[in-house]
Structure 1
Amino acid sequence: MLYGIAAAATALPLAAGLTAALRVLAARTSFGVARRGGRAAQTRSVPRLGGVAVAGATAVVAGAGAASGLVPLDSGTGTLLLAAGAVALLGLLDDLRPMGARARIIVEAGAASVVVHGTQLGFATGALAVLWILFVTNAFTLPAAFDGALGVVGVVTALGLCVCAGAQGSGSLAVVLGLLAASLTGFLTLNWHPARVLPGGSGALFTGFLVACAALLVNVGHARETTPAALFALTVVATADAVLVVVARRLAGRGVLRPGPDHIAHRLRRLGLTPPGVAVVLGAAATLGTATGVLLHRGAVGPSVLWWLGGAALVSVVLLLRVPVYGGRRRVRAAPVERADLLRADAG
């Protein structure tokens, strides 16, 4: 317990310092810089190397704890960290030189298979687990472009999973999840609106992969009827966003993989919320889902609670589908710079 607190207290400023250093490096070299804004006069360059700081701080502090013997990493947690590191590297390479979706999926599937293999699940169940990890990992890339959104959702989810891991005696996994939450908090100091740095693919994939695998690991061995409900609850925001995007694009006749201003955050902005307000709303939704997942894990509530959570998510998706997002730029009423941020997906 004391080491976990001390480790988190170390990871937070370390991640903040690394994020600031990488921002300076990107500004001087144009390495890993993204362009934001819909008009040339309003376009600004923002480094997208924040995820490197999150992954680096998490891995360094966890490795230091293992090397000192204070918190030895068990084989499952060590494998998870290595696999998440490989996925983070994949995201960084994709940021620097975009690769095809097939190549990304192959690497992610390989990393997920390594983690799932250690759980000793059957072939069919293990294959479903790998597919679920792939879905959640890539779903976490959806809020990554919005100031503060990924960090807030990631912190809340990691803390909830940390509680679950600690309750079942998985000390090393609990420490790693606490480090992830602390590192994301340090990163948020420069990612809050107006963001001076973005998480990039490395941050989004690292966070999504670690959260998805940890959710699976803490629920393996629990009653079968509660596991699917807990997995859904712990990732409700990312799942709802992915479902919303897929349904909206199919209804509009657009390609599912085609970028567009149609995520939850885009629609909330259309409704008049400020960028910080969007992050707060997503964080509140993640808190509700994570709290439900923790209660399911502890046996405090039964699987029937999923009907309430799933129903709320479904109603939210249906209502948000009614918000116009394709075309209609003239309807956006916001300050010029904020309007450019809102429409940056169209420009990309």
Structure 2
Amino acid sequence: MPQDLPQRPRRNRRTAAIRAMVAETRLDAGQLIYPLFLHDDPNDVALDSLPGLTRWSVDGLVGEVGRVIALGIDKVVLFPKIADGLKSVTGDEAYNPEGLYPRAIRAIKAAHPGVCVITDVALDPYSSDGHDGIVNDDGGIENDPTVEVLVKQALLHAEAGADIVAPSDMMDGRVGAIRDTLDAAGHADVSIMSYTAKYASAYYGPFRGALDSAPKSSAEGGKPIPGDKKTYQMDPANVREALREVELDENEGADFVMVKPAGPYLDVIRAVREHTHLPVAAYQVSGEYLMIKAAAASGWVDERAVVMESLLGIRRAGADAILTYFAPQVAGWLSEK
């Protein structure tokens, strides 16, 4: 006997067409940013730490960008593996105008001028100590000298054709210093996507393996080197601190703010979204990617279903854009609808 229920929420879930009409959160390819790894070798190399991903040569990188453009992905972010012989304590290779990174930017822009190129601004790929900042003789991370190098790096990226520079180092004051320098050099149209709330996370391991950029042990350099990045990346216990970082980055001229990682920090994404009018990006990092890949490879989860649910969760929390290694797969799946 049917009950007398004037309100039956299930009616709005009855068919796919109705569910689509009332969906509160949507995901499309335009919200995705594809992270790409590159090196200065002539061959493309499959990454053991990130199954399904590749460390690209410059030529291979250009080809991969063309492939994902055809899928509807028009934003990429680049991460370089730098040869050990080019690394130094002060990361000077980061602003070499003939280095791997500016050559890659120029090659992409020459072949695909319409793609949005986002660049990583940090010293860890270039540092012989494996840190995002300059390590002094006492094992401390030098903030202001590091910012001076980051400014040179960001300016080099802008001159090479970058659309957005993304400082991921978590040094204090770097957004304002980069903004002032870009503006003074005639690059007022180059945006800054700040890694505003980048946490000292255990989820970064596969990424560091892909770039050989983990902090080095003290024994290798003959000086004390921190084995982690907890003195500059954020404490996973904190949320209010992220909002302080948002206010500082806004005041210094950021165009986007970012939360990294994404999945374990949905509450931070929501808090940041409610605290700013700037676009919010979130990075589904290598550990998140690998856990889904491993679970799917074992047959325990449906990869497509879990990926889509995870990205919807990040969007629902308040992210306007998502950096994800699944971007090409997701764009393909979305085109099938």
TM-score by length of 2: 0.26
Which one has a larger percent strand, Structure 1 or Structure 2?
2
Which one has a larger percent helix, Structure 1 or Structure 2?
1
- Larger gyration radius, structure 1 or structure 2: 2
TM-score by length of 1: 0.26
Report which structure shows greater RCO (CA 8 Å, sep ≥6). 1
